[in-house]
Amino acid sequence: MMIIVVSLFVLLMLVAAVAALIFKDLMSAVIAACMVSLIASILFYFLQAPDVAMAEASIGAALITAVFIVAIRRTERFEE
Residue ranges binding other proteins (CB under 8 A):
3-4, 6-7, 10, 13-14, 17-18, 20-21, 26, 29-30, 33, 36-37, 40, 43-44, 47-56, 58-60, 62-64, 66-68, 70-76, 79-80
- As to burial, measured by CB atoms within 10 angstroms (0-12 exposed, 13-18 middle, 19+ buried), residue 73 is exposed
Comparing CA positions, the residue from 28, 35, 32, 33 lying closest to residue 78 is 28
Count of CB atoms within 10 A of residue 33's CB? 21
